[in-house]
Amino acid sequence: MLGGAGILLGVAAVPAQAAEVSYKTECIPPAASGLDPVEGTTKVEITAPATAKVGDEIEVVWKFVQAASKNPDLIVLPKDSVKPAGTLKASGAQTADIAMEGPQKNPEIPKGGDMVLSDMTGKVKLTTAGDVTLTPDAYTITAYSTDTKCTPQEAVPAAATIKVTAAEGGSTTSGGSTSGGTTTSGGTATGGDTGGTTSGGSTTGGSTTGGGTTSGGSTSGGSTSGGDDGQTDFAGKTVATSFACTSPGPAKIDSSATINAKKNGGSYDLTVKTAKGVMNSPAPLPAGALKPSMVITVGGDDSGSLKVEGPANKDALNTGDPVSLGDMTGTYKPGADGKATLSPGDLTIVVTLSAGSDPITIPCKATKTAVSLELDVQKQSGGVSGATTSGSGSSSGSSSSSSSSGGGLAETGANDHGGLRALGFVAGTAILLGGAVFVFLPHRRVR
């Protein structure tokens, strides 16, 4: 076999041919980004055997000489965070769509740097004698399970021709059936080993909140917090939670949360613990990349909400490492007398991939929750009653994916008007939990 490009499988080695072609390309960022399509020029080199025989299965290599984009001055793309897939068309004596796919392997791509994509390979079984031409077609760039789709905007010249001869002593037939290699263009799985296929389909099955239910909230010994009995620590119970995140976040996150309180004068210092190790990192993440916050809903005789916040991840994470959100803390100041209930509410993750990059905020709406803690409280001046706070943390720079900076490809240098923002921003936004990005491990429990 020939090393590198141009491999003929199952037969003796033959000369390989490599040819470069270029074509105008339109790339469409993910719908959630709200960005317009951008045109650029794709340059690829296709390497394939020069000759082969009917019945041979050959491997073809697609090398990106130039992708239709540059990484913008928006964010650094981490090492091994980008994955290409595409379609190579066979025509002439045999017609087939050859699925091409490259590994999730790239160097760190700096802001404004050239987009570096791995070589893609694909296989096709030759069925008919004659000249078979190979022409590059559409391709998809996947970063953390969000796709930017690029399609030719002009007729693309053939990049290679394979002269296929009849097998020795065999007939030439094999009635025009297309080659086996046609299966999907691999638009495809992302995130390497992270099993990105899960999330998508599972909508948040109508499980509306159910949150207001008392769900036995009277447990937790929260009664009699009033101070006369000297009790200062109040342990909440662990409740099941589900969240629906704004695209390009995951469709659904299933987890659990516990709200504990410590009396501090007339107020209560809260600590919220979520299930630990319920997700795996899809790629290397720096220390400080993920910072959580949550809205705590106040009910019972009091009403309103308050915000708790957690620290960013202290240590850098490697691909596949379990990821846990830090304990979130905040202060509850009662705004009424009586029994107050505390329930987990909306979750927010702020993502910052590198020093100096804009933070990206992803909101996740609570779709299932329950009362974790009940307290006997006394009204305090300036208490929470009737007040609400935003769990999305307005302090963070680039709001959620619903804003115009949202989750597309990194802005590209294609042509003069730039525009294509997908890969960089996605590298930030899709670092969230659950489904398409992290693998949810339901057996893990809150610590």
Residue given tokens 């029994």 in the structure block: 339
Decide which of 422 and 71 is more confident: 71
Decide which of 440 and 290 is more confident: 290
3-53 confidence digits (pLDDT tens): 333 333 333 335 567 889 999 999 887 665 566 787 899 999 999 999 999
* Mean pLDDT score, 88-100: 95
pLDDT-derived band of residue 361, with 50, 70 and 90 as boundaries? confident
Two tokens at 393?
Answer: 């943390």
Residue 338 near residue 300 (C-beta atoms within 8 A)? yes
227-259 confidence digits (pLDDT tens): 446 789 999 999 999 888 776 556 677 888 999
Residue given tokens 């994916």 in the structure block: 401
Two tokens at 139?
Answer: 């391709």
Decide which of 15 and 393 is more confident: 15
Strands 233-234 and 322-323: unpaired
Report the pLDDT value the prediction gives residue 295, as an integer from 0 to 100: 96
Q: Is the pLDDT of residue 1 over 60?
A: no
* Mean pLDDT score, 373-381: 94
Report the pLDDT value the prediction gives residue 350, as an integer from 0 to 100: 83
Residue given tokens 């019945």 in the structure block: 55
Among the listed residues 244, 69, 77, 248, the one whose alpha carbon sits nearest the alpha carbon of residue 146: 248
Q: Give 196's DSSP letter.
A: T
Q: Tell me the Ramachandran region of residue 229: left when phi exceeds 0, alpha when psi lies from -120 to 50, beta otherwise.
A: alpha
* Mean pLDDT score, 317-327: 81
Separation of alpha carbons 208 and 369, rounded Å: 9
Report the pLDDT value the prediction gives residue 356, as an integer from 0 to 100: 73
Separation of alpha carbons 11 and 209, rounded Å: 62
Separation of alpha carbons 90 and 292, rounded Å: 49
Strands 160-165 and 51-53: parallel
Q: Which of 166-175, 186-195, 218-227, 329-338 has the highest mean pLDDT?
A: 329-338
Q: Which of 10-14, 87-91, 192-196 has the lowest mean pLDDT?
A: 192-196
Residue given tokens 């620290």 in the structure block: 311
Q: Which of 260-269, 325-334, 353-362, 381-390 has the lowest mean pLDDT?
A: 381-390
Report the pLDDT value the prediction gives residue 226, as an integer from 0 to 100: 44
Q: Which of 24-33, 281-290, 406-415 has the lowest mean pLDDT?
A: 406-415
Decide which of 275 and 343 is more confident: 343
Q: 28: how many CB neighbours lie within 10 A of its CB?
A: 19
Q: Is the pLDDT of residue 425 over 80?
A: no
Q: What share of the chain is helix, strand, coil (3-state, %, to 5)?
A: 5, 40, 55
Q: Where are the beta strands (DSSP E) in 126-218?
A: 130-143, 146-152, 160-165
